[in-house]
Amino acid sequence: MYNQTAFGGMLQDIVELTSIVLRPEPLDEEIERRCKQAWEQAPCPECGETAIQSGDGSPRVWCTNCRYVFSYTRNTPFEGRTLSPGEIVIAFVLYADTLLSIHQITQLFEAVYDTVHSTIREVEAAFQRGFYLVWERIQHAIDGPTQIDETGHKCSGYKGQTPPRDGLSRGGSGEGGRSRWEGAPGDTMTLIGACRDVLRVIRAEPGAQPEELKPALDEVEILSGKLDEVWHDGWRGYAPLVYKNEQTVVHSEEFVTDDGVHINQVECLWSLVNPWLQKFRGLSKPGLEQSVRTYGFVRTLNLAGAPLHGLLDCFVVNVFR
């Protein structure tokens, strides 16, 4: 059955036709420039002094204190990769911000599926590490209510095995007759989404427990300061838990209460993340947890008006680790 998506079908067809050719060089240069800039403010990995210098025309940076020389990609997710930094960022953007599958993304590169897949996954971990630092710098005094909701349906993974690839891939069993969201029992996860201003946090939790809301709320609090009001729909009776005494319930029969309380932002988030998740045709449990976090943070950067700039920052700040 052809998968109807909310958007992105035309792009998928053009990619299948191999009519898109990438030109990563301008991004390569931008990333090199920003990594070198970051290194000039970072402590030398060898002597700890802030004395790194760089020059044009060479990927090398060096410490003027201890003379230690290394590549600008050190500590970044671009270190030791087959793909160039620009290619990596393009692959990641196509993964995180479009409905192209990793199989389709692979067609754009001179690399095999496994290389593109593992690169995206490892770079994704660096993105999530960097997001906290970058968000601290770009957020503008976020306050106001936090909307929280959980997906009505469960998303499930493929227990103990890599998810099947797309239809066109070679080999690979496990595709036969398995419908998209039915993995092995025990791997089903409920998605918890929280929105506060432009901040979006999505987590995958085991589900069926009122406490499952807490990690998402805690994360919103870490990223945006103390929570004041929490708005939710009171589904499954988790009202007793929720946040201290400062909560307001939207009853499911009404979209907006007389007081103006609603969870429309989270509802909107679900309408975006659901078609995005479908492109994976199932994910391992850790894969699902990692992907939905990424989606929330990528959406946040888009809403905060710092899409590519913010994304590159998240990769580059890894030099400070």
**What are the residues binding Zn ion (CB under 5 A)?**
44, 46-47, 63, 65-66, 68
User: Which residue's CB is nearer to Zn ion, number 62 or number 158?
Assistant: 62
φ and ψ at 264, to 5 degrees? -60, -35
Q: Which residues contact 213 (CB under 8 A, 6 or more apart)?
A: 148, 150, 192, 232, 238, 241, 242
Q: How far is CA 159 from the centre of its chain?
A: 22
Name the helix (H) or strand (E) containing 205: strand 199-205
User: Which residue's CB is nearer to Zn ion, number 37 or number 84?
Assistant: 37
Nearest approach, Cβ of residue 67 and Zn ion (Å): 7
User: Which residue's CB is nearer to Zn ion, number 25 or number 46?
Assistant: 46
Nearest approach, Cβ of residue 214 and Zn ion (Å): 44
Name the helix (H) or strand (E) containing 259: none
Nearest approach, Cβ of residue 320 and Zn ion (Å): 15
Nearest approach, Cβ of residue 297 and Zn ion (Å): 33
CB 148 within 8 A of CB 263: yes
CB 293 within 8 A of CB 121: no
Nearest approach, Cβ of residue 52 and Zn ion (Å): 8
Nearest approach, Cβ of residue 68 and Zn ion (Å): 5
Nearest approach, Cβ of residue 69 and Zn ion (Å): 10
Nearest to 249, CA basis, from 241, 264, 239, 236: 239
State the CB neighbour count (10 A cutoff) for residue 136.
10
3 state SS of 239 = coil
> From CA 85, how far away is CA 97, in angstroms rounded?
18
316, 90, 32, 52 alpha-carbon torsion, rounded to 10°: 20
DSSP 212: G
User: Which residue's CB is nearer to Zn ion, number 52 or number 230?
Assistant: 52
Name residue 145's amino acid. Answer: P
